[in-house]
Structure 1
Amino acid sequence: LLSDGSVRGSQRYGYDGRDFISFELGSESFVAADDAAEVTRRRWEDENVAVGFENYLKHVCPEGLRKYVGY
């Protein structure tokens, strides 16, 4: 959450201590860390999972930050 109210960010997942897959808000796309994660990336893109990630990063998370930043 930036001072002008705009939002930047990503959501990242790891497995067994290693990067697995991330969602980049700026490009609204998934980035697979390796060939195994590529399977998940394709499936999530086919199932339009990005909409949920985008909603969380653009609306849900910033609302929480705004709420608690004043404490």
Structure 2
Amino acid sequence: SDGSVRGSERVGYDGWDFISFQLGSKSFVAADDAAEVTRRLWEDVNEAERLENYLKHICPEWLRKYVGYG
């Protein structure tokens, strides 16, 4: 592995896709008009920065920890 990190976060509601975050483009994708409201809010409060940190640093650290437990 070259150490690069790829990923996304997907949020669903009541069994349906709602909104997702794509790490590569650092952007949100709203599944419908209702999710568009959330997308705008999350862009306003810089949620992308928090998710980028989580997906690039926190998640891989925990994954390595738990894989190590074997």
Q: Distance in 1 between matches of 2:64 and 2:4?
A: 12
> What is the rounded CA distance, in whole Å, between the counterparts of 1:23 and 1:34 in structure 2?
14
Q: Kindly provide the CA deviation profile for residues 5-63 of structure 1, in whole angstroms up to 9, marking residues without a partner as x.
A: 11000000000100000010000011000010000000100111111100000000001
Structure 1 residues without counterparts, runs of 5 or longer: none
Determine the structure 1 residue equivalent to 2:40. Answer: 42
CA distance in 1, matches of 2:26, 2:34: 21
Q: CA deviation at 1:4?
A: 1.3
Number of residue pairs aligned between Structure 1 and Structure 2: 69
How far apart are the structure 2 equivalents of 1:6 and 1:57?
A: 11
How do 1:1-71 and structure 2 match up within 5 A?
Answer: 3-70=1-68, 71=70
Task: Give, in angstroms, the shift of residue 69 of structure 1.
Answer: 2.0
Q: Post-superposition shift, 1:65?
A: 1.4
User: Which structure carries more helix by proportion?
Assistant: 2
SS at match of 1:45: helix
